[in-house]
A = this chain, B = another copy of it.
């Protein structure tokens, strides 16, 4: 049994929709269940009682939403101090409406989220390009589900991009099941 916590913030509902697709992907895997929470409500106990974490953010000025950073500073830093989550599993996803067609800061946003998970000692799950839906919302670090055109007309996240988001959730759940309960890291 693997318990996966999906942590997000959303402005206009697009990241929420993506987070729900992640949940659907996790729940599609035998033996895995997902919990969905906004970052502002996630406690240390929530973190301790789950096996894997998938964190999603809109891309805001090339970095995660400030409310996710607040959660990291207030909740995750203490778990890091105590080495409490070492050997669990993590992954990330983003949405965005950045100006231009070149990604608009999604990559460095994902890296700042990876960084928190690396410090926590989580095994990191990237997004292989063979994942169904990748061409419409995939990046090597995780899904980037655009919610607007290159000129920033709001379109909402497309059905195609949500497919890769869902599959990312399933991938992470399977890695969590494969590694759960094993002593993987030297202490």
Contacts and interface: CB of A to CB of B under 8 A. Distances in A.
A72 B139 CA distance: 18
Nearest to A80: B61
Given A72-B60, A77-B61, A140 B175 contact: no
Interface stretch (A12-20, A43-51, A126-134): A126-134
Nearest to A25: B186
A61 B86 contact: no
Interface string A82-120: 010011000000000001111111111001101111111
Given A60-B73, A73-B66, A171-B185, A119 B105 contact: yes
A56 interface: no
Count of this chain's copies in the oligomeric assembly: 4
Nearest to A182: B178
Contacts of A118: 62, 126-127, 140-141
Contacts of A119: 61-62, 105, 126, 129, 140
Interface residues of A, number: 74
A118 B141 CA distance: 6
A37 interface: no
Given A121-B129, A129-B100, A72 B66 contact: yes
A141 B114 CA distance: 10
A116 B101 CA distance: 18
Nearest to A94: B102
A122 interface: yes
